[in-house]
Structure 1
Amino acid sequence: MLGEPSAGRRRFLKGSAGAMLAAGFGSTLLSACGGSLEVDQPETPRLVSVTNFRDVGGAGAGYLTVDGKQMRRGVFYRANVLTLSGTDAATLDKLGIVSVYDLRTPAEITRTADVLPMGATSSTLNVLGTNDFIAPPVETAADAVAFMQAQARAYVTGAPQRAAFGALLGALANGTGAQLFHSNAGKDRTGWVAALLLSIANVPLDVILQDYVLSNVYLGSSIAAQTSTLRAQQGAAIATARAPLLDVDENYLQAGFDQVQASYGTMTSYLTQGLGLATATIEALHNRLVH
């Protein structure tokens, strides 16, 4: 049913995400699957105040799958923290989002509360199982990369992570109407969930990896601002060492997929044994994701 992760499958270059967005984000990914765009389908709005907001299904007519289906758009959205401006809130209200799932820790939520779409309910799922998330001190960029890869592997092996991800996927499968899930930057915890959904939809791994690194484009201004602040306050060496904590790399997602293979053999086994999802729940998700 699912496209299984493999460390040996082809990876795309880091620079491809910016080129995709410049060409009309999502359209290059869609054509990579052999699809064509329906020009009469409106694009997902870009939000100024929530920059990593996007449709899990992609852009245009939606991502194509390896079995010839097409992802539905307007069903599941992903984002960073919902610090919505008045204008962006009005835009989001038009999408009919009925449920918001917040994957942050309690302390993260206390520091920055969500501004919810009109009429939406909110649920919290503490993926990390800790009171707060604070990035560790790192001395080199290699240390930061190692931490990010370890975090991705923990999404597969950690008990709190598996419980939260399983609960979220179950809620998404059983929900009605448009639903949104998010974390702080919308790139790590959120990125893993999006990758799982694309896997369930049978989107090719190459496309899943490219979709994952699009966060670097959507968060580009924020990443640049944080890097500039770090450089000014703590020096160039610290800014360089911490840079991998601020963005995403296909190797982070690959580390998670490799751990799925090492721990469970297949993505299906991870979903059923690791996350506790019934086969019927996975099928329900698949049916919501594609048409």
Structure 2
Amino acid sequence: MSEVAALRKLAETDVSQEITKDQYIPVLTQPPFVFVDGTFNTRDIGLVPGSPLKPGFVFRSGALAQLSDNGKAVLRGKMGVKRVFDLRSPEEREKAPDPVLEGVEHVWIQSSRPDATIDLDHFVAGEGEQGYREMYLDVVDVYQESWKAILEHIRDRPADPFLVHCTAGRDRTGVLAGLLLTLAGAPQEVVVLDYLLSRIGTEPVRLMLLDFAMKGTNAKSHDQPGFYNLINLRASNWAAFVEGVQKEYGGFEKFITDKLGFSSDDLAKIKTNLTTS
């Protein structure tokens, strides 16, 4: 089995099952992951196997509230992050505010409306494709101004590395990462691999995230129909979302030009800046 195939197989581990430390530590301590003390699920999207993005430019992670001094130094130094984009609700930010990082600009934009309430009934059938399609299309709609700010950064500041995070660094952040990889021309299997890697990246906080999901959905137990479909990351769910973007907007590029208002020249520059140093 190739290294990439083995990585994907581990990333497809059902969330009801533990990934042991012997399995995940070797993965989380080498590229594309970056160890940043006090957060999790941190990686350089440009170092995902097969990624066309230039390395050292676009980073993603989970919440930053617990960053240690060493973690802060890694973000500023080794990673060279100049801007942090926070994709969370006001309530999430109030409970766990980002730390102040000297020399790093923090960007948070009030969403147009609150995130939609998740209905587990929509995740029961199959692998939860309907629920994921609806949930991620809602993310695209709610966080439009954040997407716009990130794309403007890529267009205007191609020499300034940036990091995007939400709470778990897997769904809202994953949608953004998939959008950027797609714009850069990544094959679908590379987009999906980066998406699935959050399964490994969140393993150190898996039980906390299960609890977070229980509270967010008002699930009565882990065994409630649809719950594990919601928690698992699967290629079929990403495919359902991409199909939804195509039907709703005509694809990612049409969303960027028609919905966010970027010109074709802007789009070309964004693509170039994602891939060229």
User: Per the shorter chain, which TM-score range?
Assistant: 0.7 to 0.9
Q: Shift of the alpha carbon at 1:73?
A: 0.7
Q: Which moved more, 1:253-262 or 1:189-198?
A: 253-262
- Picking from 63, 67, 92, the partner of 2:50 is 63
CA contact (8 A) 2:24 2:200 kept: no
Q: In structure 2, what is the equivalent of residue 105 of structure 1?
A: 89
CA distance in 2 between counterparts of 1:122 and 1:141 reads 34
CA-to-aligned-CA distance 1:164-193 (integer Å, 9 cap, x gap): 322321233212411111111111111111
Q: In structure 2, what is the equivalent of residue 270 of structure 1?
A: 255
Query: How many residue pairs are counted as aligned between the two chains?
Result: 251
CA contact (8 A) 2:245 2:252 kept: yes
Match of 1:101, SS state, is strand
Q: In structure 2, what is the equivalent of residue 279 of structure 1?
A: 264
Q: Could you say what the CA RMSD is over the residues aligned between the two structures, in angstroms?
A: 3.4
2:197 matched to 1:214?
Answer: yes
- Picking from 147, 172, 183, the partner of 1:165 is 147
CA distance in 1 between counterparts of 2:53 and 2:120 reads 39
2:243 matched to 1:243?
Answer: no
CA distance in 2 between counterparts of 1:282 and 1:262 reads 20
CA distance in 1 between counterparts of 2:260 and 2:122 reads 34
Structure 1 residue ranges without an equivalent (≥5): 1-12, 27-40, 65-69
Instruction: Read off the aligned partner of 1:168 and give its amino acid letter.
Output: I
Distance 1:115 1:244, change over 3 A: farther
Q: Which moved more, 1:113-122 or 1:219-228?
A: 219-228
Instruction: Read off the aligned partner of 1:109 and give its amino acid letter.
Output: R
Distance 1:124 1:18, change over 3 A: same
Q: TM-score, normalised by structure 2?
A: 0.76
Q: Shift of the alpha carbon at 1:44?
A: 5.2
Match of 1:57, SS state, is helix
CA contact (8 A) 2:33 2:41 kept: no
CA distance in 2 between counterparts of 1:53 and 1:167 reads 21
CA distance in 2 between counterparts of 1:265 and 1:134 reads 23
% identical equivalent positions: 22
Match of 1:152, SS state, is helix
CA-to-aligned-CA distance 1:19-66 (integer Å, 9 cap, x gap): 9x879759xxxxxxxxxxxxxx9865222421111112124xx635xx
Q: Shift of the alpha carbon at 1:283?
A: 2.1
Q: TM-score, normalised by structure 1?
A: 0.73
What does 1:112-131 align with in structure 2 at a 5 Å threshold?
Answer: 112-127=96-111, 129-131=112-114
- Picking from 76, 90, 104, the partner of 2:58 is 76
Distance 1:125 1:251, change over 3 A: farther
CA distance in 2 between counterparts of 1:106 and 1:225 reads 20
Instruction: Read off the aligned partner of 1:251 and give its amino acid letter.
Output: S
Q: In structure 2, what is the equivalent of residue 259 of structure 1?
A: 244
CA distance in 2 between counterparts of 1:77 and 1:98 reads 11
2:9 matched to 1:15?
Answer: yes
CA contact (8 A) 1:223 1:247 kept: no
CA distance in 2 between counterparts of 1:23 and 1:152 reads 29
Instruction: Read off the aligned partner of 1:199 and give its amino acid letter.
Output: T
CA-to-aligned-CA distance 1:235-273 (integer Å, 9 cap, x gap): 4524x7423333422233222211222133343222211
Match of 2:238, SS state, is helix
Q: Which moved more, 1:171-180 or 1:95-104?
A: 171-180
Match of 1:237, SS state, is coil
CA distance in 2 between counterparts of 1:225 and 1:23 reads 18
Distance 1:109 1:22, change over 3 A: closer
